[in-house]
A and B are shown apart, each in its own frame.
Chain A
Amino acid sequence: MNSKIAHATIAGSFAAALSMLAAPAFAAPKAPQPTMDKCFGISMKGQNDCAAGAGTTCAGTAKTDYQGDAWKYVAKGTCASIKTPKGSGSLEPIKS
């Protein structure tokens, strides 16, 4: 049979797939929530053109540069809960 897959195999799997659709095989982290509508012109879930867009206020107002190109920041988010082969994901301290 090699790489050729028999018609019967495909047809059988298709029939089985159609019958098992109540249980989706591609695992979604959460069932889709049909509670929100896509509303044009209105922002949703942070996908809008951003609160700091043209003509709006934003956090940067009236501040001047606080840094040049120097890099001193350390990642302090949830990355510490993610283990990599090299150890925890925490970036304390940065080796530079």
Chain B
Amino acid sequence: MAAPFETSFAQALLGTEPALPPGLAAHTAAVPARRFAVYRNNVLASLGAALARRYPVIERLVGGEFFAAMARQFVIRHPPRSPLLAQYGEEFADFIAAFEPARELPYLADVARLEAARTRAYHAEDAMPLGADGFAALDAGALGDIRLQLHPSAAILRSPFPIVTIWAMNSGELELRPIETGQSEDALVVRPHMDVEVRALPPGGAAFLRSLADGLPLRDAIGVALADHAGFDLTGNLAGLIGSGVVRAILSPAARTS
């Protein structure tokens, strides 16, 4: 429970209009409005810079000036709840989605979700992914019954926009060239080892992985994926499942009793 002065100080700090907290004094001035304005600006600017570090592609997409001003609005509405700046800005994508001046960039919020997922993956628990040999050792007759535990860094995102392509082009992974936003893309973000990887998922792949993440046995996950997209390619998705390092462990091993 903050004291009344601290509460009014915080309110003045994050108010939309500069205002001096009641009772604030300095040895140089009875009413240190200018000093407080400098302090306030440093708070907003440094949090905005933290946001730019976490969302570099968003900053590149809209430009530095637009980003700085947008970040300022965000900081005022969403001050940090944790001292860990690396986790700051979780609500940024939702903020962007409702942010009127960015409304003509409808893909922007989903790209921000992708960037947020990358940071979470970077700071997620380290874990060795299950290798191909772990899958090869399974009893072929009971493969449909296996349940998987996904890697702790894994995130699956679905978007009606080509978020992986937009992200890749603006993070230096792909050459920048004109694209159309009509193409939807689902993304898998995972850090199997040291590097965070962003992959575009094939049709039905996101439904497949989410079902597995929810604990469905493989057979049911395949059913969900086929219902999601008739063009679901089982072999290709299994190869991706194994090769991407998104699986940490087999939770229910293939039964040996049958």
Residues on A facing B (Cβ under 8 Å): 3-5, 7, 9-11, 13-18, 20-21, 23-30, 32-34, 36-38, 45-53, 58-69, 71, 73-79, 81-86, 89, 91, 94, 96
Q: How far is the CA of A16 from the CA of B236 in the complex (A)?
A: 9
CB-CB < 8 A to A48: which residues of B? 53, 86
CB distance A63 to B45 under 8 Å? Answer: yes
For residue B104, which residues in chain A have a CB less than 8 angstroms away from its CB? 84, 86, 89, 91
Q: Report the minimal beta-carbon distance from B110 to chain A, rounded to whole angstroms.
A: 12
Q: Are B60 and A77 in contact (CB under 8 A)?
A: yes
User: Which label, helix, strand, loop or mixed, suits the secondary structure of the B interface?
Assistant: helix
How many Å lie between the Cα of A11 and that of B146 in the bound state? 12
Q: Provide the residues of chain B in CB contact with A45, threshold 8 Å.
A: 122
CB-contacts of B122-153 with A (<8 A): 122-123, 126, 132, 135-136, 138, 140-141, 143-144
Contacting pair A53 B46 (CB below 8 A): yes
Pick from B62, B176, B237: contact of A75, CB below 8 A: B62
Complex CA gap A26/B237 in Å reads 8
Judge if B223 is at the interface, Cβ distance under 8 Å.
Answer: yes
* Pair A24/B239 contact, Cβ less than 8 Å: yes
Least CB separation from A32: chain B residue: B195
Shortest Cβ distance from residue A77 to the other chain B in the assembled complex, whole angstroms: 4
- B136 contacts which chain A residues (CB < 8 A)? 18
* C-alpha spacing A85/B184, complex, angstroms: 13
The answer to whether A52 and B46 have CB atoms under 8 Å apart is yes
Residue pair B222, A83 in contact (C-beta under 8 Å): no
Contacts of B176 in A (CB 8 A): 78, 81
Once the chains bind, are B86 and A60 in contact (CB under 8 Å)? no
Would A25 and B236 count as touching, CB distance under 8 A? yes
| A34-B65 contact in complex given A7-B144, A26-B202, A61-B42, C-beta closer than 8 Å | no
Contact status B244-A24, CB under 8 Å: yes
Partner of A4, one of B45, B166, B223: B223
- Which 10 A-B residue pairs are closest in the complex by CB-CB distance? A60-B45, A17-B238, A76-B63, A52-B46, A26-B240, A29-B168, A52-B49, A25-B236, A17-B239, A50-B50
Among A13, A23, A33, A34: residue with most chain B CB under 10 A = A13
From residue A91, how far is it (CB to closest CB) to chain B in Å? 6
Query: Which residues of chain B come closer than 8 Å to A53, judged between CB atoms?
Result: 46, 50, 85
Nearest B residue to A51, CB-CB: B49
The CB with the most chain B CB atoms within 10 A, among A58, A79, A86, is that of: A79
